[in-house]
Amino acid sequence: MTIDPGATRGRPSPSRSSRQRGRVALRGRRRRRFAHARGTCLAPSWQATTGAVLNLPPPIGAPEAAGCLLGLALGDALGAPFEGSPPRGPEPIDRLLAADTSLRWTDDTHMMLALADALLARDLTVDPQHLGDTFAQAYRHQPWRGYGSGPPRIFAMASQGRPYVEAAASLFEGSGSFGNGAAMRCAPVVVAGWPDATRIWHLAAEQARVTHSHPEGVDGAVLLSEVLRLAMATPPAARLTLDGTTADLPPLRSAALQGAWDALRDASASAERAKDRRGLLELARDLGTSVAAQASVPAAIAVALHAPDDVVDTVRAAVGLGGDTDTVAAMAGAITGAHLGVASIPPRLLGRLEARERIASAARALARASQANGH
């Protein structure tokens, strides 16, 4: 699959938009789960839910937080060289894993760190204008990180006095971006809102609207934040599944993403019953790895559930799918890292990862602030 560089993190290129804006094609019984017309919105969902604190796990610790953020950065850096490639075997990624070169990440991690900084500066809340300014400052400092066309356009409009949320909503003829950019960076909100599920969903949606106002862009971030929350709540020795608390996630506004989520939960349950997780990787292939949130967010979750016991195996499987490899691997790596903790990431790879201490420091600061605030 070839990805339009100008559309990365935003809207897919016009030549592909009809396919990516259509229904997600799944084989057999799964195809029927995606019969909703793309863009159809359900009634407002998570916004109407208040005060839900699910399962009340212990306070978030630095190992889980660091595992999540560093897993994201590692997946981003390992997936970046293969972005836009077709599906491939393990040999190229294995060569990269065996090398001793530095691992440099892209705008995925860059925006994740900016989000962490903005949360810490605003007492773990999302101030849209401040967050937008933080994103814009990060972009101006390092515009070569691989940003797509959407964020710079938003930053330019904001520099002329337009609010960020309004500028984001004006993109793509007023529909906003349905890309995966808001989901890819959302890991810090899980630490900031821990353990209140509703608060996490709210933070995920609020940070999304600064750049991605389409229901799929927002819901993609909400959905990934919920799976990251579940991963952090699941002890490393326990199997990561979608059973239990995720049933409390209210309906998503995007019918297409809701259909993907339903199919994903079915596939996860079937894998547990059969003790065979190969079907989850097949589902990830069916969903696709485009920049559209309705495809790549559930695909990344499926990959993480397919290979939940090793961060490197998770990232390897994600890269093998091709397409938007850096973002899919970043999201999948964040899930497995959140579940297993930072100790699960091989020290040799951490030693090669760009700005690893900066990322770990942000994770520790978020965990301390979350504990201090009683979240």
- Check whether 235 has a pLDDT greater than 80: yes
pLDDT in tens, 44-94: 333 433 344 444 556 666 889 999 999 999 999 999 999 999 999 999 999
Number of domains in the chain: 1
Give one DSSP letter per residue of 56-96, joined into a string: -PPPP-HHHHHHHHHHHHHHHHHHGGGTTBPP--SHHHHHH
pLDDT at residue 3, as a whole number: 35
How does pLDDT run across 156-202, given as a tens digit for each residue?
999 999 999 999 999 999 999 999 999 999 999 999 999 999 999 99
Residue-range definition of the domain harbouring residue 237: 81-372
- Is 4 inside any structural domain? no
What CATH number has the domain bearing residue 212? 1.10.4080.10
Secondary structure (3-state) at 218: helix
Residue type for 180, please? N
Evaluate whether residue 238 is within a structural domain. yes
30 lies in some domain: no
What is the model's pLDDT at position 373?
Answer: 83
Name the amino acid, one letter, at 224. L
What pLDDT score does 289 carry?
96
Residue 112 covered by a domain: yes
Residue 20 lies in a domain: no
- Convert the pLDDT of each residue in 293-348 to its tens digit: 999 999 999 999 999 999 999 999 999 999 999 999 999 999 999 999 999 999 99
Token couple for 57:
């796990």
Number of other CB atoms surrounding residue 220 within 10 Å: 35
Give the model's pLDDT for residue 60. Answer: 66
Whether 106 maps to a domain, the answer reads: yes
Is 34 contained in some domain?
Answer: no
Least confident range from 13-17, 29-33, 96-100, 260-264: namely 29-33
Of 148, 166, 146, the closest CA to residue 158 belongs to 166
The arithmetic mean of pLDDT across residues 111-134, rounded, is 98
What is the rounded distance in angstroms from the CA atom of residue 116 to the CA atom of residue 182? 13
Q: Assess if residue 44 is contained within a domain.
A: no
H helices present in 150-277, as ranges: 150-159, 164-174, 181-184, 187-193, 197-208, 215-233, 255-274
Q: Any idea what DSSP says for residue 277? A: -
When pLDDT is averaged across residues 120-131 and rounded to a whole number, the result is: 98
